Amino acid sequence: MKNKIICYFLIIFFITTNLKANFDVDAKTAILQDYLSGEILYQKEPDLSIYPASMTKIMTSIIAFDLIEKGDLTFDEKFIISENAWRLSQSGYSSMFIMVGDMVSVENLLRGIIIVSGNDACVALAEGIAGTEEEFAAMMTSKAKEIGMENTNFSNSSGINDPDNYSTVRDILIMSNYLIKNYPEYYEMYKETTFTWERTGGDPITQGNRNPLLYKNFGADGIKTGYLAVEKFSLASTIKRNDRRLIAVGSGFISKNSRSKQSAKLLTYGLTNFDTIKLFDKEKSIGQVEVWLGKKKKIEAYVKKDIYKTIPKARKKNLKAIMEYSGPINAPISKDQVLGKLKIYYKDELLEEHDLLSYENVKKLNIFSRILTSINYLIWGDV
Protein backbone atom coordinates (compact mmCIF):
# COMPACT_ATOMS: atom_id res chain seq x y z
CA MET A 1 0.00 0.00 0.00
CA LYS A 2 1.33 3.42 -0.91
CA ASN A 3 1.26 5.94 1.93
CA LYS A 4 1.48 9.67 1.51
CA ILE A 5 2.11 12.01 4.39
CA ILE A 6 1.93 15.72 3.76
CA CYS A 7 4.63 16.80 6.15
CA TYR A 8 5.04 20.49 5.40
CA PHE A 9 2.93 23.27 3.94
CA LEU A 10 4.07 26.65 2.80
CA ILE A 11 2.42 29.51 0.98
CA ILE A 12 4.58 30.29 -2.03
CA PHE A 13 4.55 31.53 -5.60
CA PHE A 14 7.04 29.55 -7.66
CA ILE A 15 6.59 30.79 -11.21
CA THR A 16 9.07 33.59 -11.89
CA THR A 17 8.49 34.25 -15.57
CA ASN A 18 6.82 37.63 -15.17
CA LEU A 19 9.49 38.91 -12.80
CA LYS A 20 12.29 37.91 -15.15
CA ALA A 21 10.53 39.29 -18.21
CA ASN A 22 10.57 42.78 -16.71
CA PHE A 23 14.25 42.78 -15.76
CA ASP A 24 17.45 43.00 -17.78
CA VAL A 25 21.09 43.96 -17.31
CA ASP A 26 23.30 45.75 -19.80
CA ALA A 27 25.80 42.94 -20.42
CA LYS A 28 26.49 40.53 -23.24
CA THR A 29 25.98 37.54 -20.94
CA ALA A 30 25.02 37.20 -17.25
CA ILE A 31 23.70 34.82 -14.64
CA LEU A 32 22.43 35.09 -11.04
CA GLN A 33 22.09 32.24 -8.54
CA ASP A 34 20.89 31.81 -5.00
CA TYR A 35 23.76 29.98 -3.31
CA LEU A 36 21.76 27.95 -0.78
CA SER A 37 18.92 26.75 -2.99
CA GLY A 38 20.99 26.62 -6.17
CA GLU A 39 18.13 28.21 -8.07
CA ILE A 40 18.98 30.40 -11.06
CA LEU A 41 17.13 33.68 -10.61
CA TYR A 42 18.22 35.36 -13.84
CA GLN A 43 20.16 34.40 -16.94
CA LYS A 44 21.05 36.04 -20.21
CA GLU A 45 22.87 33.94 -22.80
CA PRO A 46 24.56 32.01 -19.94
CA ASP A 47 26.26 29.45 -22.21
CA LEU A 48 27.72 31.95 -24.65
CA SER A 49 31.47 31.38 -24.94
CA ILE A 50 33.55 34.18 -23.41
CA TYR A 51 37.17 34.95 -22.64
CA PRO A 52 37.12 34.94 -18.82
CA ALA A 53 40.10 37.30 -18.45
CA SER A 54 41.16 37.63 -14.81
CA MET A 55 38.17 35.61 -13.57
CA THR A 56 40.50 32.77 -14.61
CA LYS A 57 42.43 33.51 -11.42
CA ILE A 58 39.61 32.02 -9.35
CA MET A 59 40.68 28.60 -10.61
CA THR A 60 44.35 29.45 -10.04
CA SER A 61 43.59 29.98 -6.35
CA ILE A 62 41.40 26.86 -6.20
CA ILE A 63 44.30 24.67 -7.38
CA ALA A 64 46.49 26.09 -4.61
CA PHE A 65 43.76 25.69 -1.99
CA ASP A 66 43.23 22.07 -3.05
CA LEU A 67 46.92 21.31 -2.55
CA ILE A 68 47.02 23.12 0.79
CA GLU A 69 44.04 21.12 2.04
CA LYS A 70 45.74 17.87 0.97
CA GLY A 71 48.94 18.81 2.78
CA ASP A 72 50.95 18.99 -0.47
CA LEU A 73 51.50 22.75 -0.17
CA THR A 74 51.71 25.27 2.68
CA PHE A 75 51.15 29.01 2.91
CA ASP A 76 54.71 29.43 4.20
CA GLU A 77 56.35 27.59 1.30
CA LYS A 78 58.39 29.91 -0.91
CA PHE A 79 58.88 29.91 -4.67
CA ILE A 80 61.72 31.58 -6.57
CA ILE A 81 60.59 34.14 -9.12
CA SER A 82 61.59 33.44 -12.72
CA GLU A 83 62.23 35.98 -15.44
CA ASN A 84 59.09 34.65 -17.13
CA ALA A 85 56.98 35.67 -14.12
CA TRP A 86 58.80 38.98 -13.66
CA ARG A 87 58.07 40.06 -17.24
CA LEU A 88 54.37 40.25 -16.34
CA SER A 89 55.15 42.77 -13.59
CA GLN A 90 56.01 45.42 -16.14
CA SER A 91 53.84 48.32 -17.23
CA GLY A 92 50.56 47.39 -18.89
CA TYR A 93 49.76 44.39 -16.71
CA SER A 94 48.02 44.01 -13.36
CA SER A 95 50.99 43.21 -11.15
CA MET A 96 52.19 42.44 -7.66
CA PHE A 97 55.63 43.79 -8.74
CA ILE A 98 57.81 40.84 -7.82
CA MET A 99 61.44 40.74 -8.93
CA VAL A 100 63.59 38.06 -10.56
CA GLY A 101 65.22 35.86 -7.92
CA ASP A 102 62.83 36.88 -5.13
CA MET A 103 61.73 34.10 -2.80
CA VAL A 104 58.00 34.73 -2.24
CA SER A 105 55.65 32.77 0.00
CA VAL A 106 52.57 31.03 -1.33
CA GLU A 107 50.44 33.20 0.96
CA ASN A 108 51.84 36.43 -0.51
CA LEU A 109 51.46 35.13 -4.06
CA LEU A 110 47.84 34.19 -3.36
CA ARG A 111 47.10 37.63 -1.96
CA GLY A 112 48.85 39.17 -4.95
CA ILE A 113 46.55 37.14 -7.21
CA ILE A 114 43.27 37.49 -5.30
CA ILE A 115 43.46 41.10 -4.14
CA VAL A 116 45.52 42.97 -6.76
CA SER A 117 45.06 40.54 -9.67
CA GLY A 118 48.79 40.12 -10.24
CA ASN A 119 49.56 38.30 -13.47
CA ASP A 120 53.18 37.97 -12.32
CA ALA A 121 52.04 36.27 -9.11
CA CYS A 122 49.92 33.83 -11.16
CA VAL A 123 52.88 32.69 -13.25
CA ALA A 124 55.12 32.43 -10.18
CA LEU A 125 52.57 30.28 -8.36
CA ALA A 126 51.92 28.13 -11.43
CA GLU A 127 55.62 27.48 -12.01
CA GLY A 128 56.23 26.78 -8.34
CA ILE A 129 53.44 24.21 -8.19
CA ALA A 130 53.63 22.51 -11.59
CA GLY A 131 57.06 23.43 -13.00
CA THR A 132 55.60 25.24 -16.00
CA GLU A 133 52.54 27.38 -16.57
CA GLU A 134 51.42 24.99 -19.32
CA GLU A 135 51.35 22.06 -16.89
CA PHE A 136 49.51 24.18 -14.35
CA ALA A 137 46.90 25.16 -16.95
CA ALA A 138 46.33 21.47 -17.64
CA MET A 139 45.67 21.00 -13.90
CA MET A 140 43.19 23.90 -14.04
CA THR A 141 41.29 22.42 -16.98
CA SER A 142 41.19 18.99 -15.34
CA LYS A 143 39.75 20.54 -12.17
CA ALA A 144 37.21 22.46 -14.24
CA LYS A 145 35.93 19.23 -15.78
CA GLU A 146 35.86 17.55 -12.36
CA ILE A 147 33.52 20.15 -10.88
CA GLY A 148 31.18 20.32 -13.87
CA MET A 149 32.52 23.20 -15.97
CA GLU A 150 31.59 21.64 -19.30
CA ASN A 151 32.43 24.52 -21.63
CA THR A 152 35.76 25.72 -20.24
CA ASN A 153 39.41 25.37 -21.21
CA PHE A 154 42.29 27.07 -19.44
CA SER A 155 45.52 27.76 -21.33
CA ASN A 156 47.19 30.00 -18.75
CA SER A 157 46.96 30.90 -15.07
CA SER A 158 46.19 34.61 -15.34
CA GLY A 159 43.57 34.97 -18.07
CA ILE A 160 45.71 37.12 -20.37
CA ASN A 161 44.55 37.11 -23.97
CA ASP A 162 44.57 33.64 -25.56
CA PRO A 163 41.83 32.17 -27.80
CA ASP A 164 42.28 28.81 -26.07
CA ASN A 165 41.44 30.30 -22.67
CA TYR A 166 37.65 30.32 -22.74
CA SER A 167 34.60 29.68 -20.55
CA THR A 168 30.98 30.77 -19.97
CA VAL A 169 29.31 32.74 -17.20
CA ARG A 170 27.51 29.54 -16.15
CA ASP A 171 30.85 27.77 -15.74
CA ILE A 172 32.36 30.73 -13.87
CA LEU A 173 29.34 30.53 -11.56
CA ILE A 174 29.99 26.83 -10.93
CA MET A 175 33.63 27.63 -10.17
CA SER A 176 32.72 30.48 -7.82
CA ASN A 177 30.19 28.30 -6.01
CA TYR A 178 32.83 25.58 -5.57
CA LEU A 179 35.35 28.06 -4.17
CA ILE A 180 32.95 29.46 -1.55
CA LYS A 181 31.55 26.08 -0.53
CA ASN A 182 34.82 24.18 -0.22
CA TYR A 183 37.19 26.85 1.09
CA PRO A 184 35.22 29.26 3.29
CA GLU A 185 38.26 30.05 5.45
CA TYR A 186 40.59 30.82 2.54
CA TYR A 187 37.79 32.63 0.72
CA GLU A 188 38.09 35.39 3.35
CA MET A 189 41.04 36.74 1.31
CA TYR A 190 38.63 37.76 -1.45
CA LYS A 191 37.04 40.48 0.66
CA GLU A 192 40.32 42.13 1.71
CA THR A 193 40.45 45.60 0.19
CA THR A 194 44.23 46.18 0.28
CA PHE A 195 47.44 44.21 0.02
CA THR A 196 50.90 45.47 0.92
CA TRP A 197 53.83 43.71 -0.73
CA GLU A 198 57.00 44.09 1.34
CA ARG A 199 59.13 43.85 -1.76
CA THR A 200 62.85 43.19 -1.90
CA GLY A 201 65.09 46.21 -2.38
CA GLY A 202 62.44 48.90 -2.29
CA ASP A 203 59.64 50.52 -0.35
CA PRO A 204 56.50 48.44 0.33
CA ILE A 205 53.82 48.64 -2.36
CA THR A 206 50.20 48.89 -1.26
CA GLN A 207 47.44 48.29 -3.80
CA GLY A 208 43.68 48.12 -3.52
CA ASN A 209 41.34 45.30 -4.48
CA ARG A 210 40.12 45.64 -8.08
CA ASN A 211 36.56 44.61 -7.17
CA PRO A 212 34.50 47.84 -7.04
CA LEU A 213 31.59 46.25 -5.15
CA LEU A 214 33.73 45.74 -2.04
CA TYR A 215 33.63 49.49 -1.51
CA LYS A 216 29.84 49.67 -1.56
CA ASN A 217 28.00 49.13 1.70
CA PHE A 218 25.69 46.31 0.68
CA GLY A 219 27.39 43.09 1.72
CA ALA A 220 29.70 42.22 -1.19
CA ASP A 221 32.64 40.00 -0.20
CA GLY A 222 34.04 38.89 -3.59
CA ILE A 223 34.89 37.67 -6.11
CA LYS A 224 36.94 38.71 -9.20
CA THR A 225 37.01 41.33 -11.94
CA GLY A 226 38.26 40.83 -15.49
CA TYR A 227 39.09 42.87 -18.56
CA LEU A 228 40.24 42.11 -22.10
CA ALA A 229 39.88 44.47 -25.04
CA VAL A 230 38.10 41.76 -27.03
CA GLU A 231 35.73 40.84 -24.19
CA LYS A 232 35.33 44.22 -22.45
CA PHE A 233 34.67 44.21 -18.71
CA SER A 234 33.57 41.24 -16.59
CA LEU A 235 32.90 40.46 -12.96
CA ALA A 236 32.11 37.47 -10.80
CA SER A 237 30.46 38.98 -7.72
CA THR A 238 28.67 37.88 -4.58
CA ILE A 239 26.90 39.35 -1.59
CA LYS A 240 25.96 37.84 1.74
CA ARG A 241 23.09 39.14 3.84
CA ASN A 242 22.64 37.30 7.13
CA ASP A 243 22.69 33.62 6.07
CA ARG A 244 21.70 34.28 2.49
CA ARG A 245 24.19 34.54 -0.38
CA LEU A 246 23.75 35.46 -4.04
CA ILE A 247 26.36 34.90 -6.76
CA ALA A 248 26.35 36.78 -10.07
CA VAL A 249 28.62 36.58 -13.11
CA GLY A 250 28.51 38.99 -16.02
CA SER A 251 30.69 39.65 -19.06
CA GLY A 252 30.64 42.18 -21.88
CA PHE A 253 29.99 45.26 -19.73
CA ILE A 254 30.93 48.28 -21.81
CA SER A 255 32.88 50.16 -19.11
CA LYS A 256 34.20 49.92 -15.56
CA ASN A 257 31.33 52.05 -14.37
CA SER A 258 28.78 49.88 -16.16
CA ARG A 259 30.35 46.73 -14.72
CA SER A 260 29.96 48.07 -11.20
CA LYS A 261 26.44 49.45 -11.62
CA GLN A 262 25.00 46.54 -13.59
CA SER A 263 26.50 43.90 -11.25
CA ALA A 264 25.08 45.74 -8.25
CA LYS A 265 21.73 45.96 -10.06
CA LEU A 266 21.75 42.22 -10.70
CA LEU A 267 22.52 41.33 -7.09
CA THR A 268 20.00 43.87 -5.78
CA TYR A 269 17.34 42.34 -8.03
CA GLY A 270 17.89 38.99 -6.35
CA LEU A 271 17.71 40.50 -2.88
CA THR A 272 14.63 42.61 -3.37
CA ASN A 273 12.50 40.22 -5.42
CA PHE A 274 13.19 36.86 -3.78
CA ASP A 275 13.44 35.21 -0.37
CA THR A 276 15.24 31.98 0.44
CA ILE A 277 13.75 29.70 3.07
CA LYS A 278 14.91 26.45 4.59
CA LEU A 279 12.33 23.67 4.30
CA PHE A 280 14.21 20.83 6.00
CA ASP A 281 17.44 20.31 7.91
CA LYS A 282 19.74 17.55 6.81
CA GLU A 283 19.87 14.46 9.04
CA LYS A 284 17.02 15.69 11.24
CA SER A 285 13.71 13.85 11.52
CA ILE A 286 11.05 15.17 9.17
CA GLY A 287 8.31 12.67 10.08
CA GLN A 288 7.49 9.03 10.79
CA VAL A 289 6.69 6.04 8.59
CA GLU A 290 4.91 2.86 9.67
CA VAL A 291 6.81 -0.39 10.32
CA TRP A 292 5.47 -3.94 9.86
CA LEU A 293 6.49 -6.69 12.34
CA GLY A 294 9.20 -4.57 13.92
CA LYS A 295 10.05 -3.79 17.54
CA LYS A 296 8.86 -0.26 16.78
CA LYS A 297 5.58 0.53 15.04
CA LYS A 298 6.95 3.73 13.52
CA ILE A 299 10.36 4.99 12.55
CA GLU A 300 11.74 8.51 12.06
CA ALA A 301 12.78 9.47 8.54
CA TYR A 302 15.25 12.10 7.30
CA VAL A 303 16.95 13.49 4.20
CA LYS A 304 20.70 13.76 3.65
CA LYS A 305 20.89 17.42 2.66
CA ASP A 306 19.48 20.75 3.75
CA ILE A 307 16.60 21.65 1.46
CA TYR A 308 16.09 25.30 0.52
CA LYS A 309 13.68 26.98 -1.85
CA THR A 310 14.01 30.48 -3.25
CA ILE A 311 10.66 32.18 -3.63
CA PRO A 312 9.52 35.44 -5.23
CA LYS A 313 8.16 38.06 -2.88
CA ALA A 314 5.58 39.25 -5.41
CA ARG A 315 2.85 36.54 -5.29
CA LYS A 316 2.16 33.37 -3.36
CA LYS A 317 0.51 29.98 -3.93
CA ASN A 318 0.72 26.55 -2.31
CA LEU A 319 3.89 24.55 -1.98
CA LYS A 320 3.74 21.16 -0.27
CA ALA A 321 6.17 18.42 0.67
CA ILE A 322 5.00 14.80 0.80
CA MET A 323 6.65 11.76 2.33
CA GLU A 324 5.71 8.96 -0.06
CA TYR A 325 6.46 5.28 0.57
CA SER A 326 5.01 1.79 0.04
CA GLY A 327 4.28 0.51 3.49
CA PRO A 328 4.23 -0.25 6.21
CA ILE A 329 7.94 -1.01 5.78
CA ASN A 330 8.92 -4.59 6.62
CA ALA A 331 11.34 -5.06 9.53
CA PRO A 332 14.22 -5.46 9.97
CA ILE A 333 15.20 -1.93 8.90
CA SER A 334 18.77 -0.69 8.94
CA LYS A 335 19.89 2.88 9.62
CA ASP A 336 20.11 4.95 6.42
CA GLN A 337 17.95 2.48 4.50
CA VAL A 338 15.93 4.13 1.73
CA LEU A 339 12.28 4.09 2.84
CA GLY A 340 10.69 6.11 0.06
CA LYS A 341 10.79 9.62 -1.37
CA LEU A 342 10.31 13.14 -0.09
CA LYS A 343 8.53 14.94 -2.94
CA ILE A 344 8.16 18.69 -3.17
CA TYR A 345 5.31 20.01 -5.29
CA TYR A 346 3.99 23.30 -6.53
CA LYS A 347 0.29 22.53 -6.90
CA ASP A 348 0.38 19.28 -8.87
CA GLU A 349 3.79 19.87 -10.42
CA LEU A 350 6.69 17.87 -8.98
CA LEU A 351 9.60 20.23 -8.40
CA GLU A 352 12.13 17.84 -6.90
CA GLU A 353 12.43 14.66 -4.89
CA HIS A 354 14.89 13.27 -2.34
CA ASP A 355 15.53 9.85 -0.82
CA LEU A 356 13.72 9.34 2.48
CA LEU A 357 16.12 7.56 4.84
CA SER A 358 15.72 5.59 8.07
CA TYR A 359 16.93 7.44 11.15
CA GLU A 360 17.76 4.24 13.08
CA ASN A 361 17.84 0.42 13.09
CA VAL A 362 14.62 -1.48 13.81
CA LYS A 363 14.83 -5.18 14.64
CA LYS A 364 12.19 -7.72 13.67
CA LEU A 365 9.86 -9.06 16.35
CA ASN A 366 10.48 -12.61 17.59
CA ILE A 367 8.42 -15.41 16.04
CA PHE A 368 5.73 -15.46 18.73
CA SER A 369 5.21 -11.69 18.61
CA ARG A 370 5.05 -11.79 14.81
CA ILE A 371 2.36 -14.50 14.90
CA LEU A 372 0.34 -12.56 17.48
CA THR A 373 0.65 -9.33 15.52
CA SER A 374 -0.44 -11.04 12.30
CA ILE A 375 -3.47 -12.63 14.00
CA ASN A 376 -4.49 -9.28 15.49
CA TYR A 377 -4.21 -7.70 12.07
CA LEU A 378 -6.36 -10.41 10.46
CA ILE A 379 -9.03 -10.11 13.16
CA TRP A 380 -9.02 -6.43 13.95
CA GLY A 381 -7.29 -4.91 10.91
CA ASP A 382 -5.05 -2.99 13.25
CA VAL A 383 -1.64 -3.70 14.71
Domain 37-218 class in CATH: alpha beta
Q: Tell me the CATH number for domain 2-12+280-380.
A: 2.60.410.10
pLDDT (0 to 100) of residue 292: 84
Among this protein's residues, is 251 annotated catalytic? no
User: What is the reported pLDDT for 300?
Assistant: 95
Residue 365: the pLDDT is 79
Domain regions of the chain by residue span:
2-12+280-380, 37-218
| Cα(341)–Cα(351) distance, integer angstroms | 13
In tens, the pLDDT along 312-346 reads 875 556 678 899 998 799 999 999 999 999 998 87
54: annotated active-site residue? yes
Please say whether the beta carbons of 237 and 169 come within 8 A: no
- pLDDT given at position 368: 58
Q: Say what the pLDDT of residue 170 is.
A: 98
Residue 377: per-residue pLDDT: 58
Q: Which of 37, 61, 94, 117 is catalytic?
A: 117
Q: What is the 3-state secondary structure (H, E, C) of the chain?
A: CEEEEEEEEEEECCCCHHHHHCCCCCCCEEEEEECCCCCEEEEECCCCCECCHHHHHHHHHHHHHHHHHHCCCCCCCEEECCHHHHHHHCCCCCCCCCCCCCEEEHHHHHHHHHCCCCHHHHHHHHHHHHCCHHHHHHHHHHHHHHCCCCCCECCCCCCCCCCCCEECHHHHHHHHHHHHHHCHHHHHHHHCCEEEECCCCCCCEEEECCCHHHHCCCCEEEEEEEEECCCEEEEEEEEEECCEEEEEEEEEECCHHHHHHHHHHHHHHHHHHEEEEEEECCCCCCEEEEEECECCCEEEEECCCCEEEEEECCCCEEEEEEEEEECCEECCECCCCEEEEEEEEECCEEEEEEEEEECCCECECCHHHHHHHHHHHHHHCCC
- Total-model pTM: 0.88
Q: What is the pLDDT of residue 28?
A: 98
Q: Which of 37, 44, 54, 95 is catalytic?
A: 54
Catalytic residue among 37, 44, 57, 224: 57
Active site residue 117: yes
Cα–Cα nearest to 342, from 279, 296, 299: 279
Residues of the chain with pLDDT under 70: 1-21, 91-92, 314-318, 367-383
Q: What is the pLDDT of residue 8?
A: 39
